[in-house]
Structure 1
Amino acid sequence: MAGQIRRRNRARILAAAEQVFAEMGLEGATIQAIADLAGMPKSNILYYFGTKEKIYVALLQEVVRHWHESFSRFGTEDDPALALETYVIEKVRMSFSRPAASRLFARE
């Protein structure tokens, strides 16, 4: 049960952070803004992540993991044109389904 609460809280924080970082960038974002959007006390954010930079890194790792999963099925023996077409389709799909994550990915 405690593990589920932890995962749910981390996901809630990362969802809020995705929006805040996409709008304000790393420098403009604050832990308080993330806490406000997540509907949690600032102390909870600090408990789970410690710093704004650690939240940002965790968020980028999650976005990159998502991209890696989307494209890991292709290998050197696959048709490059098909791989590129699939990449573009997935990128557009992600841009619509998670525009804030797409902006973060583009910034990096």
Structure 2
Amino acid sequence: EYALEHGQPINSVLDGVLPIHAASAGGHPQVVKKLIEHGADVNAPRLPRRYFSDRNRDASAPIVGTSGSTPLHFAAANGNTEVVTLLLLHGAHPDLEDKYGVTPEELARQYNWV
């Protein structure tokens, strides 16, 4: 909340992960709700990021981490049912697949949360 009140963009990215991804994975429904209230996209995919090394620290760095996982994928994979419910109530699409063709429901089943 402090960061948002002081100008932090709602969709700021760290290593391809948005704040709503981190809050969903961590099981923080109050944070997820606050992010949604400030305009976070409940269907936002994990974004690609560049992998920098000592050899390439510029735009030639390879792009990695393009899983396309949504906040619902993160919540479902971690068994965060309260966050899953909150995301669904705010329009998250349970049928969105990541780049591997996996839906949030399939992740929940894979980890025996359902």
Q: Which has the higher contact order (CA 8 A, sep 6+)?
A: 1
TM range, smaller chain: under 0.3
Which one has the largest radius of gyration?
1
**Higher-helix-fraction structure:** 1
